Amino acid sequence: MPRTLETGRPEPATSQLPRRLLTILRPELPSLAEEIIEEIPRALPEYDRPMQGPYVTALQIGVERALNQFVARVAEAAPDAHRHDDTYRRLGRFEAHEGRSLDSLQAAYRIGAQVAWRRLMTIAARHDLSSSVMAQLADALFGYMNELASLSLSGYMDARPTQVEDQRRRLLQLILARRPGSDRAIAELAELTEWNVPDEVTLVVVPHDARCVREALDDDVLVDLTADEPRLLVPCRAPDGRPEALPAGRRAMLAEAFPDGGVATGLTVPLEHAADSLRWARQALTLIEAGVLDDGPVTSCEDHLVTLWLLADCALVDQLARRHLGGMNELEPGQRERLLATLHTWLTTRGTAAEMADELHVHPQTVRHRIKRLEKELGGRLTDPDARFAIEIVLRAMSLRDRVRPGSGDRPEEH
């Protein structure tokens, strides 16, 4: 007798059945439970596992209670409805945690019903049950299976949002770790969580105490705000393979999701380079917190590439400064500052003494005097292209570090 399980919860059958069914059916229940528990993993490979552990124990209890509940119902005994309901909701939660779809759960119930019906047919022949009684038993059995499926569906749906979030956090971790052989694991977990693997992504970091409006985030954004460094992954598509900043719509989404601001986005990169995008976004957030970069709603690395490069390794900048500007440390601080300002202007403008004087708001003769003093202090480094380039890098980096917000940390070391 073919039947299908519905998702709605039907009303319990109320037809009268012979009370002697309780006596007839109850002795069959232990062996019937064993047969169902053996048949489900045989028919459904996803349930094929060693018959031990908490999941299998829950399955065994579920089958035994289902059979006892059904027999008590058709014999008009008084079942424990509360414990009954909780058992099958718990099975649904197990399914969600196991990562199986609802199809597997429905199939397991269907198999259980089919095995039970075969046993009922055997019992009917042995005890000469009428066709009317068998028809009522069929309606009661398959209606009861629908009820169990509905209860488990409720538990499944309650557990699935949390489970999917956990699995997507794991997916983000796999993408960032990018170990050998991880492509298959990423693909499998992405399929399990219904996440389309993109070619290009942008990583995003936010402050630890950032207030998040989760409803504002797009469904395809991977989120891990529980990590030591809260981060998000935003899928992007760069046209024709050209580098592209995070689209305006995505920036607006982040601004809405994190209304207090302080969001930093990395560059849009191929998925396999996601860790680089995260590293750059993290560096940008550090510079935002230090006051080097403006603290807007969403700060993009795309707009600050040179700054990120110059301040990527401040210790190395210090070493360059010692080698190329160390001779000026003996000067009086005010004099040293004026000379460095003049040197920075000369390197960046290559202007005449008069043009530089306008820029510095001093007399041209003062500029000429400072240039002579710089030539004395720095010697041949000003005529060496490599040294001159290194000095310009150092001065630009020092200028950026001078923008550190008061109270945000130690100021750059003077050279």
Structure confidence by residue, pLDDT tens digits, 398-408: 878 776 645 44
CA gap 399, 110 in Å, rounded: 72
CATH class for the domain made up of 21-162: mainly alpha
Provide the whole-model pTM: 0.55
What pLDDT is recorded for position 240?
Answer: 54
Nearest to 152 by CA among 76, 68, 65, 74: 65
| Beta sheet of 231-236, edge-to-edge order | 222-224, 231-236, 200-205, 263-270, 298-300
Tokens standing for 92? Answer: 């649904």
Identify the H or E element spanning 222.
strand 222-224
**Who contacts 370 (Cβ-Cβ below 8 Å, separation ≥6)?**
338, 339, 342
Tokens standing for 289? Answer: 């917190």
Domain spans, the chain: 21-162, 200-310, 314-401
Measured N-to-C along each axis, helices 54-74 and 29-43 cross at an angle, to the nearest 10 degrees, of: 130
193 C-beta neighbours (distance < 10 Å), count: 17
pLDDT tens figures, 41-76: 888 876 766 555 566 677 778 888 888 888 888 876
Nearest to 92 by CA among 43, 170, 12, 149: 149
What pLDDT is recorded for position 31?
Answer: 92
Contact 144, 79 (CB under 8 A): no
- The answer to which of 49-58, 90-99, 334-343 has the lowest mean pLDDT is 49-58
pLDDT tens figures, 288-334: 988 888 878 999 998 888 888 888 888 888 888 887 787 777 777 88
What pLDDT is recorded for position 13?
Answer: 42
Compute CA distances 372 → 347, 395, 407, whole Å: 15, 19, 38
CATH class for the domain made up of 314-401: mainly alpha
pLDDT tens figures, 351-375: 788 888 888 888 988 888 888 888 7
pLDDT tens figures, 15-29: 457 777 888 888 999
What pLDDT is recorded for position 243?
Answer: 56
CA gap 249, 268 in Å, rounded: 14
Query: Alpha helix locations (H) across 258-403?
Result: 274-290, 305-310, 314-325, 333-349, 353-360, 364-378, 385-401
